[in-house]
Chain A
Amino acid sequence: GAGVSQSPSNKVTEKGKDVELRCDPISGHTALYWYRQSLGQGLEFLIYFQGNSAPDKSGLPSDRFSAERTGGSVSTLTIQRTQQEDSAVYLCASSFVRGGYTGELFFGEGSRLTVL
């Protein structure tokens, strides 16, 4: 597609349920990031995929969070046993790689998660 696509755009769930958030990056982009943004706050790094390298998972806040990227394209972020503090906007971004580093980063519109 022309841009980074995320779904769902809004998700309301009950505490304890599992949720899956999907990201479809720009075609050909090998780098893919997930960030989390709580209301009025900055962007918190969650996980980074780059080509076939092992992902950098250092930002995942707990073992309830996991992510995968299939075929070097679509990525899914899964949150198990959701808690109210998981409520936030989850942002996905993708880029080409320039000299081993992230190129111009393009963001999707985000998935707003509300845990009741």
Chain B
Amino acid sequence: ETGVTQTPRHLVMGMTNKKSLKCEQHLGHNAMYWYKQSAKKPLELMFVYSLEERVENNSVPSRFSPECPNSSHLFLHLHTLQPEDSALYLCASSQVEPGQGSSYEQYFGPGTRLTVT
């Protein structure tokens, strides 16, 4: 496997279900990101893990719970979602230089198309 992979590619879940999205990067990067892409809206950054620490959480509802067990893996745990959470969820990774606080180009996975019924 190369680049950034995401599973599953498609997910349909009911509002009472619990599911998890998985992301894996094979690029040796040290920062990973979750984005939400809804129709007709800009890409929304949800969570950032840099050097395995969560460094950003953009006021995301608690029904979304990220987990980053190591620098190569990122999960998004979902529970009691709402229909408006239906969207494309994209994972990305990048290389962050410690102490410089800068992140360069991000490499994205193919996304998980989530439908909440």
A and B bound? no
- The residues of A with any CB-CB pair to B shorter than 8 Å are none
Chain B interface residues (CB < 8 Å from chain A)? none
